[in-house]
Amino acid sequence: MVAASVTALSMSGQEATTLREKFKDHFFIGTAFGRHLHWEQGQPTLKLIDRHFNTISPTNELKWQPFQPKPDVYNHGPADAFVDFGKKNTMYVVGHVLFWHSQTPEWVFQDDDGNPLSREALLQRMRERVHFVAERYGSRINAWDVVNESIMGNGELRDSQWTRIIGDDFIEQAFRIADEELPKAVELIYNDYSMTGKRKRDGVVKLTVELKRKGLRIDGVGMQGHWSVNGPSIRDIEASIVAFSEAGVDVHITELDIDVLPRHPKMWSGNADTKLNLQQDPRLNPYRNGLPDAIQKKLAARYASIFGLLIKHSDKIKRVTFWGPTDKHSWLNGWPIKGRTNYPLLFDREGQTKPAFHAVMQLPTNSNSQKKDNSK
Ligand code: XIL
């Protein structure tokens, strides 16, 4: 075992036993979850979420495809339940996501005859979506990922139906619409993966600075944090946190999970397609029957160094959100190969704390700013 006991001291001098207490002076700490948690007998995972976290993101419920699968069909029930849960428990609720190339239905880009929409018509359709969620949720959703994954690894704009129809100012138009339609209290975020590479980092800084120069509002940059035990380096993560902060926005770590399984080269190179379904290969699923102690320790050490860095820069960081509450609920069991057994989070399949949890809880936290109050 890496760390058997919890000895973390909070500012008040009392031992913190939950993540929420531990980081209350530093940043919001949260998780994403899906609608199925409401159906669990006795709702143990929702209880765990309320105990440890003070911010939540929906894994799929607000994405365009599940939320509005057809022009006149709004499947908003699961999203309503998500927002209600967050508000009932006084949480910082994140809307994920307004505009993305993935999980967006084809009809969005087409007219009634199946022909590509004009730029004006697509902008109008984007506005209708934002208008709908603004009316329905207002500032009960505290922050929205306005655009997801639209800058490529080389720092250039991603080619997508959005850019093909709207043009190179797609991101700018998205932020303009979000600012005009949502209440001013709602924070606007640009969110992306692999944010630690230099060219992508520079591309996102450029985007942020340009949006601001044009008088548009962008409040945060989200670094997804789908990282692994082996990388990216702490130094590269740090360089991006500092660079985004210097561009004048809050940093959000939005989709944190640490992959312990061997990575397939197709996973994060190129476009990280969420529809990937690669061939089964037992060599890529080595821990079906449990995680060896050595890997458990490696994961704990990796989490400790990441959270050490996040604590160091907590004056720049608004929020840290895991992409899933427990290993059982992680999307990495199913992507990019179905049916693997992954261990990327702080709670195990039974909802019990892992050595990585204790490693995080034992970190000293009294070295940085006391200016925030993220208690519930
Ligand atoms: C994932 C969900 O967790 C899965 O349930 C779904 O099948 C695919 O999408 N980047 C994102 C998230 O911004 O929306 C993705 O979520 C994970 C990658």
Active site residues: 149, 255
pLDDT in tens, 160-209: 999 999 999 999 999 999 999 999 999 999 999 999 999 999 999 999 99
Structure tokens at 206: 């450029």
Q: Taking the domain 19-361, which CATH number applies?
A: 3.20.20.80
The predicted pLDDT at position 115 comes to: 95
Distance 281 CA to ligand 1 centre (A): 22
Distance 148 CA to ligand 1 centre (A): 11
Q: Which amino acid is at 256?
A: L
Query: Which of 59, 103, 194, 259 is the pocket-test mutation for ligand 1 (most atoms within 8 Å of CB)?
Result: 59
Using CB distances shorter than 6 Å, the residues near ligand 1 are 59-60, 148, 224, 255, 274, 331
Q: Which residues pair with 167 in a beta bridge?
A: none
* 169 vs 246: CA distance, rounded Å: 23
Which residue has the least CA distance to atom 9 on ligand 1?
A: 274
What CA–CA distances, in Å, run from 292 to 117, 217, 299, 351?
A: 53, 47, 11, 19
Distance 303 CA to ligand 1 centre (A): 21
Record the pTM: 0.94
The predicted pLDDT at position 373 comes to: 64
Distance 33 CA to ligand 1 centre (A): 10
Q: Which atom of ligand 1 is nearest to the CA of 148?
A: 13
* 62 vs 67: CA distance, rounded Å: 5
pLDDT in tens, 207-223: 999 999 999 999 999 99
Which residue has the least CA distance to atom 16 on ligand 1?
A: 59
The predicted pLDDT at position 375 comes to: 58
Distance 211 CA to ligand 1 centre (A): 26
List, for the chain, all residue ranges whose pLDDT scores fall below the cut of 50.
1-12
Assign 89 to helix, strand or coil.
coil
The predicted pLDDT at position 348 comes to: 98
Residue 53 and residue 31 in contact, taking contact as beta carbons nearer than 8 Å: yes
Which residue has the least CA distance to atom 18 on ligand 1?
A: 274
* 330 vs 258: CA distance, rounded Å: 10
Query: Which of 31, 33, 60 is the pocket-test mutation for ligand 1 (most atoms within 8 Å of CB)?
Result: 60
Which residue has the least CA distance to atom 7 on ligand 1?
A: 274
